[in-house]
Structure 1
């Protein structure tokens, strides 16, 4: 997950930032373009790891700003989500979704009771986080290439950003649905809950 969500977007951001003359000069002066010897490789890996964390942080804002605002208009059928929310309240007694939302509860439940299902769900979530970080990288690239009047690369970056946004949204939705379906399928208490409701 770290490799997918942090190192790869960090490396792409490093390459794009190298197109800015002042940053490129800084990279030259700090020998970040030198890859011979373990010290230079370690410096490069640490830098792209740190860049990856910043991208991950800014990308996480898309969950509130984009995904949460658009998901209900894109995926109108909320019956699965509503069913799981009711089941979570039945199991935990916690009705407040801000304190403990249904997806986090399902993730914790799968991790404890069905680790293999959790791993499958986590793979989809890792992919969604990778594309979420690529959205931020793409916006950065559009800004840099646009400011340098490189229309071709700015358009390609815009296209990659749009594709990454769609992929982030669909993979996030798939992982959330997989968590919900996993709990419904694997929980022995779900049948009792259905009978009582």
Structure 2
């Protein structure tokens, strides 16, 4: 048996079975009357009693574990900084940077977008999240050590098991407190509530130690074997400009009727519309398939033309016209609140 196997079983024992046993013992003393025993007969043998107790404790323990798991998101979002001595959270950021050399979330999401598994709008919405990741960094480090160094994983799991034990105790003592207050037993209800608060504090402290220990072990191992890491790939997403162009919509046509009439040469030349919101496609590069003109109807921004390993900027404002030749590449920057709206005409 590997160390990681042992401490995984310890995690289940402390975070599921023990809190479930406490709640089962409490409910047994409170609710188990003669009338209830008619529905659930008391086992005669000691073995039967212990078996029933363990089954109920395991079921209740899993329910407690499920409820307690919601505390993780609440703690990470609102209370983690209370335990964080480093204001820049460098251990997490460094570990995540090393992780990106193994599994680059931005590159994978870009590939999913290029292959049509997710839409461009969903991709850009995802890119706005500074903590975007396909696999949680803390979980990924555990999976990594599970294959590479089970001994290091055992060290992390030991602290994680303690944190999950106190996390489950938070829910257990809250249940005790709620019932005791309902029974107008304010003294013991208050005591249980205070125990719940103390357990929550201890849970947060241990959860922070577990994550920091994982990050620090991973950083240390990464610097012991630096050649194992890959060079980060370019995170820029390259798309075809046809992904941008849409058929003219009625509200768009109504707003720019005069310009459309003039540019389309009385309807003889088909046009497409393109709209860029603020910050949209900030990290994307587009490749032009045909020669075309881009007529700016409203908004201000910058076209960045990529040619001969250089970037040339063109200022965009209403009534400006930008020409792109076939196979050229460009990106766009819109830092203004107003949308950039274009008419595009192919040649």
Q: TM above 0.5, one fold?
A: yes
Structure with the largest fraction of helix: 1
Structure 1 gaps, min length 5:
none
Larger radius of gyration: 2
Distance 1:184 1:36, change over 3 A: same
Gaps of 5+ in 2: 1-10, 107-130, 233-347
Q: Is the 8 A contact 2:173 2:193 kept in 1?
A: yes
Equivalent residue for 1:152?
Answer: 187
- The CA deviation string for residues 104-141 of structure 1, in whole angstroms up to 9 with x for no partner, is 11111111111111101101101111110000011111
Q: 1:74 to 1:120 in 2, by over 3 A?
A: closer
TM-score with structure 2 setting the length: 0.51
For residues 21-56 of structure 1, the C-alpha deviation after alignment (integer angstroms, 9 at most, x for no partner) is: xx3337644245x57332222111100000000000
- Cα distance in 2 for partners of 1:31, 1:168 equals 38
Does residue 142 (structure 1) correspond to residue 168 (structure 2)? The answer is: no
- Over the aligned positions, Cα root-mean-square deviation in angstroms equals 2.4
CA contact (8 A) 1:124 1:175 kept: yes
Aligned 1:105-120 pairs, distance under 5 A: 105-120=140-155
TM-score (norm 1): 0.86
Between Structure 1 and Structure 2, how many residues are aligned?
A: 192
The aligned counterpart of 1:2 is 12
Sort the Cα spacing of 1:37 and 1:69 in 2 relative to 1 into closer, same or farther, 3 A: same
Cα distance in structure 2, aligned partners of 1:127 and 1:167: 9
Q: Which residue of 2 aligns with 1:126?
A: 161
The structure whose RCO (Cα within 8 Å, separation 6+) is larger is 1
Q: Which residue of structure 2 lines up, in the alignment, with residue 15 of structure 1?
A: 25
